[in-house]
A and B are shown apart, each in its own frame.
Chain A
Amino acid sequence: MSADAVLYDHPGPRAKIRNTILTVVFGLGLLALVYWIYRKFDEKGQWAAALWKPFTESSTWTDYILPGLWATLSAAAVAMVLSLIFGIVFSVGRLSEHWWLSVPSGIIVEFFRAVPLLLLMFFIFYGVPFITEAPMDPFWAVVIGLTLYNGSVLAEAFRAGIKSVPRGQSEAAYAIGMRKSLVMREILVPQAARAMLPVIVSQLVVLVKDTALGYIIGYSELLQDGVNTLAANFGNIVAAAIVAAIIYIAVNASLTAFAGWLERRTRRQGKAPKNSGPRPAATVETGEAVGA
């Protein structure tokens, strides 16, 4: 049900007046809140030009924000490719008919989905060097952590996608003599991948956000470079955090828009044969893409 215009009637004269009054009341309340926040900032001198001026200088961007953004995006890009591979391998592994393949795959996927990413990164960054007796590069600690977590989430998404391919597809493939590995590779995975494209892209948003955890283990990404180091130099932590948040929001909002575009596109092209079974009408999102 589309929420608007169903939960309430089209406003008549009285409802229109009431809505206008409510709009004014809540609008004034909102303005009062905004003003109160403004005053609070003002009391602490947060509107001083000196705090915001650095963002008009190109050196601020080239020295702090852009390198940080680059580090964030490169870690996210590498981790995305690796977690896609991880996800495909383990989803296929979990669907295997050999228990020695499906059981360990299932345990690995469930385990890494349940463990907090920060715990994982701490282990990789502080723990693994004790075993390998070599220091761990923070970049790889971030990437490996992101891969294990997001790969496991994607593995579950892929598994759902593979299961959602109509059974007739694999039956037909078996009937013409294809082996299971070939059916998986040629028939099921490609279709699942396309069905799961929006999920994959929303997981990318999670991934971009999760790179911010790298700040905690000293990977110099956007939060570290663009907020912490920058604010250490200019003493403008609130301003720097706001600017960084805007950058994160811009990156992730464009990814979300991309996901929406992909969904519309795949829906248009994916012409399912008629009577291919009832499609669930309105389902709720799995809520998996929460991330940190």
Chain B
Amino acid sequence: MDVFSDPTNIDVYVTGFLWILKLTAAGTVGALVLGVLLAAMRVSPVPVLRLVGTTWVNTFRNTPLTLIVFFCYFGLFSTLGVTLSDDIDTNNYWLGVVGLSVYTAAFVCEAIRSGINTVPAGQAEAARAIGMSFFQTLTMIILPQAGRAVIAPLGSIFIALAKNATIVGTIGLMESSNAMKELINANGDAVIPIFLVFAGTFALVLIPTGYGFGWLANRLAVKR
């Protein structure tokens, strides 16, 4: 554990996980907003919107996130000149957030859509019977119930997002995986402690989070 008594190494470790935290936070918000929007589009009466939703899901669910992040940097930024910030780290961070959100939104959309399927048809029929529009039915009756049914899968999706945030390291952000690589290359005699500290941090945070989501899902489930 000598490696981590050196303050510069501690600094590398902390910065790495701070980036993961920031990527996860922004990515979660982005994916949730986009995902709910896509799910609404996929169940809407307008065929064009359904088409957009389906295309999005089929495209991004089947493309590796690595390729998407790669494209965000080399395609959007380097080639097409999309710049999100003047600071190189912040720019890479936002490009990573875009990639993570776009990719994860496809899974959020599918989770919510399967949640919509758990709401008994009678609920929507009753809503229609009292004259609610599609939008009202969806936002006031269906989505709140669907949301409570999909807490567990959404939890897995956001845990996966936190882990996937390491992939943004591909485009040069010094997140935890790059930080670990740097420490390993500099301290070949302590590779196992380094790995255990980095992997352990993820395990220590994400395993309880998983159980927390399971508990929350049970608590908030709509009892039928």
Contact = CB atoms under 8 A, between A and B. Distances in A.
A253 B63 CA distance: 10
A134 B52 CA distance: 50
Contact of A1 (B117, B150, B192, B198): B117
Contacts of B113: 3
Given A223-B70, A238-B79, A287-B154, A119 B63 contact: no
Given A248-B63, A284-B115, 11 more contacts: A1-B121, A8-B45, A26-B49, A115-B202, A127-B192, A212-B65, A223-B70, A245-B71, A248-B62, A249-B62, A282-B117
A273 B195 CA distance: 50
B46 A287 contact: no
A18 B96 CA distance: 39
Contact of A237 (B46, B74, B202): B74
Contact of B66 (A27, A215, A286): A215
Contact of B195 (A6, A127, A212, A245): A127
B121 A6 contact: yes
Interface string A1-39: 111101111010001000100110011001000000000
Nearest to A209: B64
Interface stretch (B4-12, B87-95, B158-166): B158-166
A contact face: mostly helix, strand, loop, or mixed = helix
Contact of A22 (B46, B61, B67, B128): B46
Contacts, number: 222
Contacts of A248: 62-64, 67
Interface residues of A, number: 68
Contacts of B173: none
A23 B61 CA distance: 26
Contact of B184 (A8, A126, A212, A282): A126
A213 B67 contact: no
Contacts of B49: 26
A99 interface: no
A127 B191 contact: yes
Interface in B101-160: 104, 107, 110-111, 113-121, 124-125, 128, 134, 137-138, 142, 149-150, 152-157, 159-160
From DSSP, what is the main secondary structure of chain B's interface residues?
Answer: helix
Interface in B189-219: 189, 191-192, 194-195, 198-199, 202-203, 206-207, 210
Interface stretch (A40-48, A81-89, A178-186, A258-266): A40-48
B199 A119 contact: yes
A188 to B, nearest CB: 24
Nearest to B43: A3
Contacts of A8: 45, 128, 134, 137
Given A1-B121, A7-B142, A209 B62 contact: yes
B125 A6 contact: yes
Contact of B124 (A1, A115, A227, A286): A1
A19 B49 CA distance: 11
A26 B79 contact: no
A249 B116 contact: no
B111 A284 contact: yes
Contact of A209 (B43, B47, B63): B63
Interface of A: 1-4, 6-9, 11, 15, 19, 22-23, 26-27, 30, 40-41, 44, 46, 110-111, 114-120, 122-123, 126-128, 130-131, 205, 209-213, 215-216, 223, 227, 231, 237-238, 241, 244-245, 248-249, 251-253, 256, 282-288, 290-292
B146 to A, nearest CB: 9
- Most B CB contacts (10 A, CB to CB) among A120, A231, A245 go to A245
Contacts of B203: 110-111, 114-115
Given A8-B128, A27-B48, A116-B202, A292 B66 contact: yes
A8 B131 CA distance: 10
A213 B164 CA distance: 11
A44 B110 CA distance: 35
Contact of B189 (A44, A111, A114, A130): A130
A125 to B, nearest CB: 9
